[in-house]
Structure 1
Amino acid sequence: MKSSLVILLLLNSINCFSQETNRSEVTSVQTVVNQFFESLEKQDTVLLKKVAFMEGQIWTMNNTVSPARHRMRFFKDDLKSLKSKNTYLETAKSMDIKIHEGMAMAWVPYEFRLNGEFSHCGVDVFTLIKNEGDWKIINLSYTIDKEGCEEVNITSN
């Protein structure tokens, strides 16, 4: 009986530790995504290089034109455009994060303002990998929408 109780307590404590680790990882991924938004707002190329692989891809699905158009560029392509007279403010409306074995995905409905004025909304989908103990963005795919902004704020949770 004692050994059964000890085994149950051990299994329970392992599960609790696992949940703590997962919460910590979710927080770490959230931090990287928020730092990405901060790099846009501050036009901080050093911060962008810290949170994203420069060879990583950015895919855009522009739904404001018909037919919708998609485009691909690399994070390194954004280094030049971050140094402009424009101001950028991307605000996450929510964040749904999934993590598995050193890979993470963040589904982030957002609103984007250019020079203080509403520009568009959409959904960012970040793919991150754990590299030398730190999360880094390897891919960003996002939609550009002008309508239905309230609907994109709905998450799967």
Structure 2
Amino acid sequence: MKKLVLILALTLCFDCFSQEVENMEVEAVETVVNQFFEALEKQDTVLLKQVAFMEGQIWTVNNTVSPPRHRMRFFTDDLKSLISKNSYLETAKSMDVKIHVGMAMAWVPYEFRLNGEFSHCGVDVFTLVKKEDAWKIVNLSYTIDKEGCDHGV
């Protein structure tokens, strides 16, 4: 009986520890995604380089035209265009993170404002990998939508 209680107690401890580690990893991924938004808002190329692999791809699905237009560029392409007289504010509406052994995905419905005015909304899908104990974005795919937005305009 004592062995059964000990085994049950150890099992519960391992489950609690595992859940705590998983929560820490989810928070780490969320932090990187939020730092990406911060880099965009502050036009901070140094921060962008810290959170994303410059060789990573950015895919756009523009649903504001018919048929939808697809475009691909690299994070390095955004370094020059990030610095602008315009102000950018991308706001996450929610974030759903999934993690599996050094790989993560964050599904982030968002709203985008250009110079303070509503521009569009959509969904960002970030793919991240863990390298040297740090999460970095390797891919960003997002939609550009004008309808179905809850932007209060």
Deviation, 1:149, is 1.1
Q: Which residue number corresponds to residue 104 of structure 2?
A: 104
Match of 1:142 in 2: 142
Q: Which runs of 4+ in 1 moved over 3 A?
A: none
- Does 2:24 match 1:6? no
Residue 59 of structure 1: aligned partner: 59
Per-residue CA shift, 1:22-67, capped at 9, x if unaligned? 1000100000000000000000000000000000000000000000
What TM-score, normalized to structure 2?
A: 0.97
Q: Which 5+ residue runs of structure 2 have no aligned equivalent?
A: none
- 1:120 matches 2:120: yes
Secondary structure of residue in 1 paired with 2:7: helix
1:4-83 equivalence runs, <5 A:
4-83=4-83
- TM-score by length of structure 1 reads 0.95
Q: CA deviation at 1:4?
A: 1.2
Shift of 1:117: 0.6
Secondary structure of 2:91's match? strand
Counterpart check, 1:95 vs 2:95: yes
- Work out the CA distance in 2 between the residues paired with 1:82 and 1:60: 16
Unaligned runs of 5+ in 1: 151-157
Distance (Å, rounded) in 2 between the aligned partners of 1:145 and 1:2: 61
Could you tell me how far apart the structure 2 residues matched to 1:83 and 1:107 are? 26
**Distance across 2 between alignment mates of 1:115 and 1:131:** 35
CA RMSD of aligned residues (A): 0.5
Q: Give the distance between the partners of 2:137 and 2:36, measured in 1 at CA.
A: 9
The separation in 2 between residues aligned to 1:80 and 1:86, in whole angstroms, is: 13
Instruction: Kindly provide the amino acid, as one letter, of the partner of residue 115 in structure 1.
Output: N
User: Number of residue pairs matched?
Assistant: 150
Quick one: percent identity of the two aligned structures?
A: 79
